[in-house]
Structure 1
Amino acid sequence: MSQTYEEILQGMLDRVPSNVDKREGSVIYDALAPCAFFLAQQQFLLDNYIDLVFSNTAVGEYLDRAVADHGVTRKAATAAVRQVSTDMDVNIGSVWGINDLTYKITELIAENLYKAECTTVGAVGNWYTGTLNPVSNVIGATATLGEVITAGTEEETDEALRERFYNKVRMPATSGNAYQYKQWALEVSGVGDAKVFPLDRGPGTVTVLVVDNNKGISSGLPDIVAEHIEEVRPIGATVAVENPAAKQIGISASVMLDGSKTLEEVETAFKESLRDFLSGMVFNSGNISYAKMGGLLLDTPGVEDYDELMVNSQIGNIMIENKEIPVEGVITLTEAD
């Protein structure tokens, strides 16, 4: 057990004969105090060092080292892939900019519709939409940055890496069983969670559903995951990687405000709470509780009470099928008279 500076110093003084002056400022006190302070520092550093070598407390590069022996590595940041529409043909490889970001055209999807990859990795590549300005020598063409095909992601966080490590060591993943397919899917940058359906289309088949780091649907993610699994899976299995179906959760209610927030502020805060709640339900529950929706609304700052709460136009729980995930639908709050 670690001791404080005061405890170490007192322990030293207790071992000095009682006929020696041990008061603060005495020769023996002043001689022992720096040593006690140094030992307390070393104990503090040793405690921190111990925390850094165990996977449940390690952070940063020390966590990378702690999990590496089990074959787990931190997922790197990835670049966003976006749709770009143009009014005429443009060259593959041409570069376009918006704000401080640039996007490189990588593939033709359809006439005047292209895939473009952000040259900056991370979630920032998902943020902007609108008119692009040519960075390459492009004459006469205009381009618009459209929807996200594959979301850009930040480097995997310590907590996400730790959770993935726990999943690997706690779940018996062998011989291409369901746990192993989930682990293979989670190894791909941008994958926030996965759900596996063995024998989904008959013997020798596996279906894997994937969501992104925000527990949402990313249209380009299944192809990336499928490519990775194809490299590592056992011979013989037929694997399909897909997005789950989105189950819209729409909510309407009449709210009584307590005067501290406007209706707009309440609605914004409630939407944020609802998104967090629904993301926690992804692949974890087959039921969206009507009572919990009411609890979220009542816990929203500015709400004193509510009435006429409807979830998907009904009073009652909402069932989520095996291959569905709940997502935010239309939220309509009105102020009670």
Structure 2
Amino acid sequence: MFEEFTEDYFMDQARALGEEYGVDTRQGSLFMDAATGHCIRIAKFMNDLSTAFEMLAVDTCTGDVLTEKAAQDGIYRQSATPSYYEVSFTGTTPELGSRFFVETCYFKLISKDDRFLLESEVLGTATNSILPGQNVVPVYEVNGLEACTLGSLYIPGAEEETDDDLRSRWQEKKTGPAQNNNRSQYKVWCEERAGVGRAHILPLYGGENTVKAVIYSTEGGIPAKSILEDIQSYIDPIVEGYQVTVNGKALTFSDGLGDGVSDLGAHFLAAAPEAVDISVSFSADLKSGYSKQTAQTEVQNAIKTYFKTLVVDGDEDITVRVSSIGSLIASAESILDYVPASLKLNGSTENVKVGKESAPVLKEVLIDA
């Protein structure tokens, strides 16, 4: 808003004023030396004023200011969460709160959903990729404990919600009032739950008074079963269930008894998207010093980030575009050059339409180098 009001701008204004009054305006003159300090202070003031205006605007405010302003409208930033792993013991079961470590990650034993779980001490996604089947080592000796084995990831950890994601949820609420059980309100209900990256709301999916929500994880993929159960219980739990058949597939919606936040008579279903596997293949020349494995890993990570952006920030009708994948490959540090005509998604040069009820999942990256 005040970008043009720089130090140079005010120095030019001072110089013009001096010339108007016929005083010496050369560099080092008494007049210009006296004006310089004032010009610097005014320019800094204008910069601070510009920052203050940015903090007041929805599109540009960040950090704590964004958190506070969104909270005033009932939209709260999602905190970082730990990851949870299933665990099995042979011999004595340790006490709750006992500490363990796997690789370089530390966990504590908790009881959740009538089962024993290991909760990571570090918040975020850093502990989401530990392979199951590994030995878990107690920090302090547990008498009678013969073995402790890590199970599968039960609930993935999530990073603190970014400014862009929080701003997007806030703007959606402001542009589409979430009230009276409308579509926007179901979306808000789903996306305010921990572990949810985005929700696609499909009204009347199984007939009158039915609502289906397709839930994506914070990484843009398939959410953990426990996340779906949490959303289902929060909005309207399934007790006996309301049976519906859609396109030959039997679905069980909630009873519609109003035992959650939704109104009486509304049958709700929280469901995971169907995974659409996508294989990427292309021919390329690698830069000196890079192996094919290194290039594959770099391209894989870039494509996974692109898929997450499509799901969390893009349109509900998801389309994986060949041109976008090509741009990621061309910008990869390990790729010297690649052949655009060789780039294929699932063996085809066409875009892949994923749809509203599915999520793109990277199956493999094949490089002919």
Structure 2 CA distance for aligned equivalents of residues 104 and 149 of structure 1: 13
64-73 vs 159-168, greater mean Cα deviation: 64-73
The aligned residue for residue 149 of structure 2 is: 144
Q: Deviations over 1:125-158 (max 9, x none)?
A: 3243432222466322321223222111121111
Structure 2 CA distance for aligned equivalents of residues 163 and 273 of structure 1: 23
Q: CA deviation at 1:68?
A: 2.8
The aligned residue for residue 82 of structure 1 is: 85
One-letter amino acid of the structure 2 residue matched with residue 275 of structure 1: K
The aligned residue for residue 65 of structure 1 is: 68
One of 209, 212, 227 as aligned partner of 1:221:
227
Q: CA deviation at 1:46?
A: 0.9
Q: Deviations over 1:195-241 (max 9, x none)?
A: 11222233222121211111011222112222333443223312221
Structure 2 CA distance for aligned equivalents of residues 291 and 25 of structure 1: 57
Distance 1:256 1:39, change over 3 A: closer
Alignment of 1:12-23 (within 5 A): 12-16=14-18, 18-23=21-26
Structure 1 CA distance for aligned equivalents of residues 76 and 310 of structure 2: 26
One-letter amino acid of the structure 1 residue matched with residue 136 of structure 2: L
One of 248, 256, 268 as aligned partner of 2:297:
268
- Number of aligned residue pairs: 331
4-13 vs 216-225, greater mean Cα deviation: 4-13
The aligned residue for residue 241 of structure 2 is: none
Is the counterpart of residue 278 in structure 1 residue 288 in structure 2? Answer: no
Task: Describe the SS at the equivalent of 2:55.
Answer: helix
Structure 1 CA distance for aligned equivalents of residues 17 and 328 of structure 2: 60
Q: Deviations over 1:157-211 (max 9, x none)?
A: 1111111112222234332122221121111232111111222233222121211
Distance 1:185 1:304, change over 3 A: same
Structure 2 CA distance for aligned equivalents of residues 151 and 38 of structure 1: 50
The aligned residue for residue 237 of structure 1 is: 266
Distance 1:97 1:199, change over 3 A: same
Structure 1 CA distance for aligned equivalents of residues 353 and 25 of structure 2: 74
Is the counterpart of residue 257 in structure 1 residue 285 in structure 2? Answer: yes
Q: CA deviation at 1:6?
A: 3.1
One-letter amino acid of the structure 1 residue matched with residue 360 of structure 2: P
Distance 1:40 1:252, change over 3 A: closer
Task: Describe the SS at the equivalent of 2:10.
Answer: helix
Q: CA deviation at 1:27?
A: 3.2
One-letter amino acid of the structure 1 residue matched with residue 307 of structure 2: L
The aligned residue for residue 131 of structure 1 is: 135
The answer (yes or no) to whether the contact 2:107–2:118 under 8 Å persists in 1 is no
The aligned residue for residue 211 of structure 1 is: 216
Q: CA deviation at 1:84?
A: 1.2
Q: CA deviation at 1:91?
A: 4.8
Is the counterpart of residue 333 in structure 1 residue 367 in structure 2? Answer: yes
One-letter amino acid of the structure 1 residue matched with residue 36 of structure 2: A
Q: Deviations over 1:34-92 (max 9, x none)?
A: 22222121111111111111121111111123323322221111121211122346256
Identity of aligned residues (%): 23
What is the TM-score normalised by the length of structure 2?
0.77
Is the counterpart of residue 305 in structure 1 residue 310 in structure 2? Answer: no
Distance 1:226 1:20, change over 3 A: same
One of 178, 183, 189 as aligned partner of 1:173:
178
Is the counterpart of residue 104 in structure 1 residue 109 in structure 2? Answer: yes
Alignment of 1:30-49 (within 5 A): 30-49=33-52
User: Which blocks of at least 5 consecutive residues in structure 1 are unaligned?
Assistant: none
One of 182, 185, 193 as aligned partner of 2:190:
185
The answer (yes or no) to whether the contact 2:97–2:109 under 8 Å persists in 1 is yes
The answer (yes or no) to whether the contact 1:96–1:132 under 8 Å persists in 2 is no
The aligned residue for residue 7 of structure 2 is: 5
The answer (yes or no) to whether the contact 1:81–1:151 under 8 Å persists in 2 is yes
One-letter amino acid of the structure 1 residue matched with residue 316 of structure 2: N
Q: CA deviation at 1:18?
A: 3.4
Task: Describe the SS at the equivalent of 2:160.
Answer: coil
Structure 2 CA distance for aligned equivalents of residues 124 and 272 of structure 1: 15
What is the TM-score normalised by the length of structure 1?
0.84
Structure 2 CA distance for aligned equivalents of residues 293 and 124 of structure 1: 26
Q: Deviations over 1:83-129 (max 9, x none)?
A: 112234625625232134223231476xxx73332243322332434
One-letter amino acid of the structure 2 residue matched with residue 179 of structure 1: S
The aligned residue for residue 252 of structure 2 is: none
Distance 1:85 1:175, change over 3 A: same
262-271 vs 73-82, greater mean Cα deviation: 262-271
Distance 1:22 1:297, change over 3 A: closer
The answer (yes or no) to whether the contact 1:123–1:153 under 8 Å persists in 2 is yes
Structure 2 CA distance for aligned equivalents of residues 292 and 22 of structure 1: 55
One-letter amino acid of the structure 2 residue matched with residue 175 of structure 1: N
The aligned residue for residue 164 of structure 1 is: 169
Q: CA RMSD in A?
A: 3.1
Structure 1 CA distance for aligned equivalents of residues 86 and 44 of structure 2: 56
